[in-house]
Structure 1
Amino acid sequence: MLYSAPMHDSHHRAEQDSLKLANSHYENFPVASVLLPMRLRRAIGVIYAFARNADDFADEGDLPPEQRLALLDGYRKQLDRIAAGETPEEPLFIAVAAIIREHALPIQLFHDLLDAFSQDVVKKRYENLGELMDYCRRSANPIGRLLLHLYKETDERNLAYSDAICSSLQIINFLQDVAIDYKKDRIYIPQDDLRKFRISEQQIANGDAGGNWWMLMQFEIERTRRLLQAGAPLGLVLKGRIGLEMRSIIAGGETILRKLHRSHGDMFNHRPVLRPWDWAYILYRAVRAK
């Protein structure tokens, strides 16, 4: 039987540190947003801190691949301790164990995230959309599914909506970060799309938005917008503050896509970010949505 143990001071400090870490990685989309019910912010902060910490193992610094993979394996061992009912060794995992018990979260979703981050260490190109979507299934969709478990809204329809939203947001991030990812020797635009529009890796390396680049980006933007719209009904299915939060996230993704479209996909010189006035419009859209 799952239960929530009393929260000791060390557990509370671990969770507070996790929330600070999650918010320090904030960029385009809210983390533990003020729109969410207070009772859920702690758990959401822990989930995002776990994801960002593990993602940094794959992305940040100058460690060789084998050390990055070893760090991620260390996280797997901590999850295994939790699954076995043992006490974790690290403060972050004390917090992870607490929210898993309190909210009956599937531990496999945490493992899926680690699998995706490990893949980032060794896989730098994606042949087609199917390969990319399989990556998104593990890199992004688990976050949405964990949130739905927190909300107690995990019917199959909602899970499908959430997967569409999370995968589209992941791809939106790839589209706005083409230049940044290339510096890490990663290209997330499918290789068959690059060939279709006759875009070479050298053009990406040069930051060249000429030639067929806009045609390629228009194709990627529209396909991603359709995916985001496929999940958009979730913003109306979820009620109250969590629905408002979801509609804000969806509107944020739409705004980034519009900015990409407006610049003809030239994220090399006009990387889209959300400004304060964008957030005001996003909140207006979220409140007015029916």
Structure 2
Amino acid sequence: MYTLADAFAYCQRLALNHYENFTVASWLLPRALRGHVYAVYAFCRHVDDLGDEAPGDRLRLLDDWRAELERCYHSTPRHPILVALQETIRCFAIPPQPFLKLIEANRMDQRTSRYHTFEELLRYCDHSANPVGHLFLYLFGHADGERQGLADATCTALQLTNFWQDIAVDLGKGRVYIPQEDMARFGYPEEELERGIVNDSFRALMAFEVGRTRELFAKGLGLLDMVDGRLKVDIKLFSLGGLAVLKALERNGYDVFRRQPRLSRWQKAALFVRGLLPGRPEVKTWRR
């Protein structure tokens, strides 16, 4: 049986060893929240590992993890991540729904590799990304629906940005996140995607996806007027980072097959400084 101190230390090691930006990000967190943020991150990381990398029957493993999560609410968990998370749940009165949605997102990954409509993709984001925003709002004392809705826009935009920059990576895993209806609309068949063809149809398709992703970022920035302190800075930093990746996609002519858009260290540093400055980032939401 893990002590609470050992459990939180386990989560901290996992967070700092697996996420290169967590050391910097943790400086922005109030000291009283750091252990709880590590616990939430560790839970998310472990669920993703079960869904993406674990050998064997991943659906069964995810079911087992869900059963262990339920012990946080009704009994005594055994895994160190959940020992720490139970304390976080108790301190901030977090309901099980955000955690259950994250598990279900990874179950969806085992069953679905294509999305026919944008609405289907948004439903996936509602399980895979939006719960993370809700969890952070709970940690900072904001659990109302209006703030959650704005956080959803930011979290979905970040998830979509990740999809667009990792098209080639996901294709190698047999997954395509570009909605099938959009590919048909712009006359870009999946056969050309598999061959890594970047033509006018693909550029128009990606400009469309980037445009509506940027609109979600713009909507989510409304949350800046409803929070303050460290959370406000975090939201700005995540939004600025996502918008910078979208800009890099455009600058590269949307060629995600030969040059995956990534931000350099100096670009991240510049964004960090911008995130600390007052004011809301300006977002151009027009589409090509």
Aligned partners of 1:209, 1:27: CA distance in 2, in Å?
31
* SS of aligned partner of 1:188: coil
**Residue in 1 aligned with 2:127?**
138
Q: 1:121 to 1:253 in 2, by over 3 A?
A: same
* SS of aligned partner of 2:33: helix
Counterpart among 146, 149, 154 of residue 160 in structure 1: 149
**Residue in 2 aligned with 1:4?**
none
For each residue in 1:189-233, what CA deviation from the matched residue of structure 2 results, as whole angstroms up to 9, or x when unmatched? Answer: 111011111222222222222241111110000110001110112
Aligned partners of 1:238, 1:48: CA distance in 2, in Å?
21
Given the alignment of the two structures, is residue 59 of structure 1 paired with residue 52 of structure 2, yes or no? yes
* SS of aligned partner of 2:261: coil
Counterpart among 219, 223, 227 of residue 234 in structure 1: 223
1:29-178 matches, cutoff 5 A: 33-60=26-53, 63-64=55-56, 67-84=57-74, 86-178=75-167
Give RMSD over aligned pairs: 1.9
Aligned partners of 2:20, 2:203: CA distance in 1, in Å?
25
Aligned partners of 1:236, 1:270: CA distance in 2, in Å?
36
Aligned partners of 2:200, 2:89: CA distance in 1, in Å?
50
Q: 1:200 to 1:33 in 2, by over 3 A?
A: farther
**Residue in 1 aligned with 2:203?**
214
**Residue in 2 aligned with 1:251?**
240
For each residue in 1:128-164, what CA deviation from the matched residue of structure 2 results, as whole angstroms up to 9, or x when unmatched? Answer: 1110111111111100001001111222221111000
* SS of aligned partner of 1:207: coil
Aligned partners of 1:191, 1:97: CA distance in 2, in Å?
40
**Residue in 2 aligned with 1:5?**
none
Give the number of equivalent residue pairs. Answer: 279
CA contact (8 A) 1:168 1:228 kept: yes
CA contact (8 A) 2:2 2:83 kept: no
Listed as ranges, the gaps of 5+ residues in structure 2 are: 280-288
Shift of residue 22 of structure 1? 2.6
Counterpart among 14, 32, 37 of residue 7 in structure 2: 14
CA contact (8 A) 2:16 2:22 kept: no
CA contact (8 A) 1:31 1:44 kept: no
**Residue in 2 aligned with 1:3?**
none
Shift of residue 28 of structure 1? 7.4
Given the alignment of the two structures, is residue 184 of structure 1 paired with residue 173 of structure 2, yes or no? yes
> Share of identical aligned residues, percent?
38
* SS of aligned partner of 1:33: helix
Relative to the length of structure 2, the TM-score reads 0.91
Aligned partners of 1:174, 1:31: CA distance in 2, in Å?
24
**Residue in 1 aligned with 2:194?**
205
Listed as ranges, the gaps of 5+ residues in structure 1 are: 1-7
Q: 1:132 to 1:31 in 2, by over 3 A?
A: farther
CA contact (8 A) 1:29 1:252 kept: no
Shift of residue 261 of structure 1? 1.0
Aligned partners of 1:277, 1:41: CA distance in 2, in Å?
26
Aligned partners of 1:208, 1:23: CA distance in 2, in Å?
38
Relative to the length of structure 1, the TM-score reads 0.90
